[in-house]
Amino acid sequence: MKTFFFRLSLSQQFMLLSFPILLAGTLFIGRWIGQQVEDSVVHRVGGVTALYVDSFIAPHVQAMARTDDLPESDKAALTSLLNDTALGKRIAGLKIWRPDGLVVYSSAPDQIGKRYEVEDGLVAALRGEISSEISERSDTDSHGQPLPRVIETYTPIRAARQGRVIAVAEFYQHPEAVDREAGVAQRQSWMTFAATMLTIYLALFAVVRRGSETIVRQQRDLSEKVAQLTALNAQNSLLHQRVKRAAERATALNENFLQRLSADLHDGPGQDLGFALMQLKTVQPQCCVNGASNPQCPATSLEPVRVAVQSALDDLRAISADLQLPDIRHLSLPELAARSVRDYETKTGSSVQLECTMPDVPATMRVKITLCRVLQESLANVYRHAQGKNARVRVSGDTETLVIEVKDEGPGFQPGNSRRHGRLGLAGMRERVEVAGGTFTIQSAAGQGTTVRATLPLTTNEEEMHV
């Protein structure tokens, strides 16, 4: 039931909850208003009749200002008023009470001389007030009431000149006329109140329904936006994977290109220059006879050519060696770091302090190549610009991240001026690291050395592991 309720729209929930409450409130307030109207009509009719009765009854009760009982002549006059005048048509019964609760006169003769419990209406009349209400009693407690249901009114009777209450007249009226008048007033009040509440309810329902429709429309639009965002997120994830695979393939293709370029330089120009150098070396012994130079031999003029060819060959071999990486596919990250540092020490004759706390975790070829290139370029910069002073390499990380740090105690520089001074190696390292999804930072200042730091994410995706 609760789940069904919350599946309804806001206007339907409002109707389901508010209508029973509004109906119950309308019935309760309508009944209360009806009761108030009925009491008002009863008091008004009773009060008007009480004034009429007082005008005819009070003159025949003035004897009680002097005695505790009515003379028989006054009793007979009262009986004549009830039986022979129009007053009897308005009154169904009459009692004259003494202040102590004794009935001194009654339209029912058997009630005369009896004493009853003083009721609230009698007490109010003894205080000088007129009390009127609809009385419903059974036969056992009627106290002389002529009908089971009557309008019972108590009115005080005062002494003519003294103004004090000397007795109380209790009279009964037929309730039919009052019921008709009260019924009309009740129906009118109920209809007015019900129409007012219905108007308010319809106005509130119109407002709630408009708000509910707005909420439903916004929820529908929001659901569509969420669906679109979900689809876009899926597309972005797919594009991200494609970019990662493209970057991986670009890295692999770049390395393959560098390897082919290295092989072409070695097998093409390198071989030609080597052959030319051998030819130049064979010419020199032919131009020397008995340790003396033949003045007609051009070997002396070929010596600068030989030196230039030798230098070009050395440069080509160095370039080829730097372009081509060894087979690193089956090496772990700690082994790659140690090998890169060892190659640097062999080439330069410098020493490097290596600290490797990286666990042996799987890594993609892109991460391995980036590690080798960053160490290669960073250590080359240490040798070139810091003369290899106190070079320190630290490789650390965990199962998700690889951190590479290369420090030296060289003269340092301003990192912001690296592009202006043509230091393309730093830009290449930064680009290589960022393509791999990592971050690249340089900390350096004049006279304080340089620290190169690269952070790379590690992935174990099977597709990337075999690119």
Contact 116, 101 (CB under 8 A): yes
| C-alpha to C-alpha distance for 403 and 416, rounded to whole angstroms | 23
pLDDT at 396: 92
Q: What is the dihedral of CA 410, 415, 417, 419, to 10 degrees?
A: 110
- Of residues 287 and 89, more confidence is placed in 89
pLDDT at 225 over 90: yes
Please tell me which of 223-232, 246-255, 327-336 the model is most confident about, judged by mean pLDDT. Answer: 223-232
pLDDT at 405: 93
Measured at the CA of 297, the angle between CA 296 and CA 299, to 5 degrees, comes to 150
Q: Which residues have C-beta within 8 Å of that of residue 325, sequence separation ≥ 6?
A: 255, 258, 259, 369, 372
pLDDT at 297: 59
Contact 132, 145 (CB under 8 A): no
- Short-list 107, 83, 82, CA closest to 96: 107
The percent of residues above 70 in pLDDT, for the chain, comes to 76
pLDDT at 331 over 70: yes
Q: What type of residue sits at position 119? A: E
pLDDT at 410: 83
pLDDT at 59 over 60: yes
**Largest separation between any pair of C-alpha atoms in the chain:** 193
Average pLDDT, the chain: 78
pLDDT at 226: 93
Q: Confidence band (pLDDT; 50, 70, 90) for 74?
A: confident
Tell me how far apart the terminal alpha carbons of the chain are, to the nearest angstrom: 57
pLDDT tens track for 199-223: 888 888 888 888 888 888 888 899 9
Query: Mean pLDDT across the stretch 215-234?
Result: 90
pLDDT tens track for 374-384: 888 888 888 88
pLDDT at 295: 57
pLDDT at 101: 86
The encoded tokens of residue 107 equal 């339209």
Please tell me which of 53-57, 395-399, 459-463 the model is most confident about, judged by mean pLDDT. Answer: 395-399
Distance from the Cα of residue 410 to its chain's centroid = 56
| C-alpha to C-alpha distance for 28 and 132, rounded to whole angstroms | 24
pLDDT at 125 over 80: yes
pLDDT at 325: 63
pLDDT at 286: 58
pLDDT at 145: 62
The three state secondary structure string of the chain is: CHHHHHHCCHHHHHHHHHHHHHHHHHHHHHHHHHHHHHHHHHHHHHHHHHHHHHHHHHHHCHHHHCCCCCCHHHHHHHHHHHHHCCHHHHCCEEEEECCCCEEEEECCHHHCCCECCCCHHHHHHHCCCCEEEEEECCHHHCCCCCCCEEEEEEEEEECCCCCCEEEEEEEEECCHHHHHHHHHHHHHHHHHHHHHHHHHHHHHHHHHHHHHHHHHHHHHHHHHHHHHHHHHHHHHHHHHHHHHHHHHHHHHHHHHHHHHHHHHHHHCHHHHHHHHHHHHHHHHHHCEECCEECCCCCHHHHHHHHHHHHHHHHHHHHHHHHHCCCCCCCCCHHHHHHHHHHHHHHHHCCCEEEEECCCCCCCCHHHHHHHHHHHHHHHHHHHHHHCCCCEEEEEEECCCEEEEEEEECCCCCCHHHCCCCCCHHHHHHHHHHHHCCCEEEEEECCCCCEEEEEEEECCCCHHHHCC
Q: What's the alpha-carbon Rg for the chain, to the nearest Å?
A: 60
Query: Mean pLDDT across the stretch 155-180?
Result: 83
Contact 368, 331 (CB under 8 A): yes
pLDDT at 221: 92
Query: Mean pLDDT across the stretch 363-376?
Result: 86
Q: Confidence band (pLDDT; 50, 70, 90) for 229?
A: very high
The encoded tokens of residue 283 equal 């010419």
Distance from the Cα of residue 210 to its chain's centroid = 23
pLDDT at 428 over 60: yes
pLDDT tens track for 245-260: 777 766 766 766 666 6
Q: What is the CATH topology of the domain spanning 2-184? A: Beta-Lactamase (3.30.450)
Query: Mean pLDDT across the stretch 248-276?
Result: 65
Query: Mean pLDDT across the stretch 335-356?
Result: 87
Task: Enter the pTM of the model.
Answer: 0.41
Q: Confidence band (pLDDT; 50, 70, 90) for 422?
A: very low
CATH 3.30.1330.60, domain 327-467, yes or no? no
| C-alpha to C-alpha distance for 411 and 246, rounded to whole angstroms | 39
Q: What type of residue sits at position 374? A: V
- Of residues 150 and 137, more confidence is placed in 150
Q: Is 161 exposed, middle or buried (0-12, 13-18, 19+ CB in 10 A)?
A: exposed
Neighbouring CB atoms inside 10 A of 218's CB total: 10
Q: What type of residue sits at position 116? A: Y
pLDDT at 416: 67
Out of 97-101, 273-277, 429-433, least confident range: 273-277
Domain boundaries, the chain: 2-184, 268-287+296-324, 327-467
Q: Confidence band (pLDDT; 50, 70, 90) for 466?
A: very low
Q: What is the phi/psi pair of residue 393, to 5°? A: -120, 130
pLDDT at 310 over 80: no
Q: Confidence band (pLDDT; 50, 70, 90) for 25?
A: confident
Residue owning tokens 């002549």: 73
pLDDT at 227 over 90: yes
pLDDT at 265: 66
Q: Confidence band (pLDDT; 50, 70, 90) for 465?
A: very low
pLDDT at 419 over 60: no
